[in-house]
Amino acid sequence: MVENMDWLQASIIIILLISLIITFRKLLIAWYKSRSYIYPLPFGQLLGMHLRKQDLIKMMDAYERINKGSLSITMEQVELFHLRGGKLDDLFQEASNCKNNYETFNYDKYTKVYFRDAS
């Protein structure tokens, strides 16, 4: 009887692990790919983006561009801009232009103009 209980507990644990791996496979793949980047995203941040249903690969590329270009944008701003339907290339181009012209990038001002023009 005891041996059957051990086997039952082990099989339940294995089934739970397999279901977790299947559920979070995109997250695990993104985390593994993130390790190959120069500036990898932390697992906690990837998990939060996964739960908010963000495109993880696109967000990892955005994080890499922010860090390589030393842009003054946060990942929260990038996520919000992307969720509102903005094109990330436009955001990065404007931030790069401001950096190259030695101006400070004003995210709020840019989004007001960008989304007003897009409507």
Q: Cβ neighbours of residue 82 under 8 Å, at least 6 residues apart? A: 54, 55, 58, 59, 62, 88
**Residue owning tokens 């922010």:** 66
pTM of the model: 0.70
Query: What residue numbers bound the domain in which 43 lies?
Result: 2-118
Name the pLDDT band for 6 (thresholds 50, 70, 90).
confident
pLDDT in tens, 18-35: 988 888 888 888 888 888
pLDDT in tens, 46-103: 888 888 888 888 888 888 888 888 888 998 999 999 988 889 999 999 999 999 999 8
In contact, 71 and 95? CB cutoff 8 Å: yes
Number of domains in the chain: 1
Name the pLDDT band for 3 (thresholds 50, 70, 90).
low
